[in-house]
């Protein structure tokens, strides 16, 4: 398990390399969030360093992003008392995803069928598709999701909850 790059990409038993079977070359754009006080922080930093090593040889369409929640535990974004920090992370994630989805990508205008290819309107269809993709990319860049605001959570009262259920 510790020598499998699939199961343990940050294992110290796997030598870091920019290319090869244990490298992170051709890895998709990556958004990493972790707590600075979590037990896996060192492994996450190793994973990040290996990802950046592979990125030196390629240029992904979207830059990767690493965010550390200061003095935060693992999965800090699920805890009600970390709601303000989580809201900031979700805002950054929303922006990062929109930029990723709006990135320019080349899509060939290929006819769907031989009949369509013979159609004299093919250039008009291809132009409409390109215009539609441009509008879609532009809307992804300008639109934003609704603001995420921390919710007021009630304080957990286990004793009161247990009494209401008849447990003494």
pLDDT at position 122, please? 64
Extents of the domains making up the chain: 31-157
- Average pLDDT of the segment spanning 121-140: 71
Q: Is the dihedral of CA 10, 14, 18, 21 positive or negative?
A: negative
CA–CA separation, 69 vs 82, rounded Å? 10
Q: Quote the percentage of the chain above a pLDDT of 90.
A: 21
**Whole-angstrom distance, CA of residue 104 vs CA of residue 45:** 30
The residue that leads in pLDDT, 153 or 6, is 6
**3-state secondary structure labels for all residues of 11-54:** CCCCCCCCCCCCCCCCCCCCEEEEECCCCCHHHHHHHHHHHHHH
Compute the CA torsion angle 92, 55, 29, 63 (nearest 10 deg).
30
């Amino acid at each position: 398990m510790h020598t499998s790059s699939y199961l343990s990409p940050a294992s110290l038993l796997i030598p870091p390399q920019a290319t090869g079977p244990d490298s992170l070359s051709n890895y998709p754009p990556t958004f990493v969030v972790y707590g600075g006080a979590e037990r896996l922080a060192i492994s996450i930093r190793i994973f990040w360093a290996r990802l950046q090593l592979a990125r030196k040889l390629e240029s992904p369409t979207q830059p990767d992003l690493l965010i550390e929640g200061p003095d935060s535990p693992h999965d800090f974004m699920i805890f009600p008392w970390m709601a303000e920090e989580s809201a900031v992370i979700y805002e950054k994630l929303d922006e990062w995803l929109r930029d990723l989805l709006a990135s320019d990508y080349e899509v060939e205008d290929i006819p769907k069928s031989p009949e369509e290819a013979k159609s004299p309107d093919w250039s008009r269809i291809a132009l409409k598709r390109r215009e539609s993709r441009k509008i879609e990319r532009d809307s992804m860049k300008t639109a934003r999701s609704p603001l995420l605001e921390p919710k007021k959570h009630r304080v957990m009262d286990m004793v009161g909850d247990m009494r209401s259920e008849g447990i003494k």
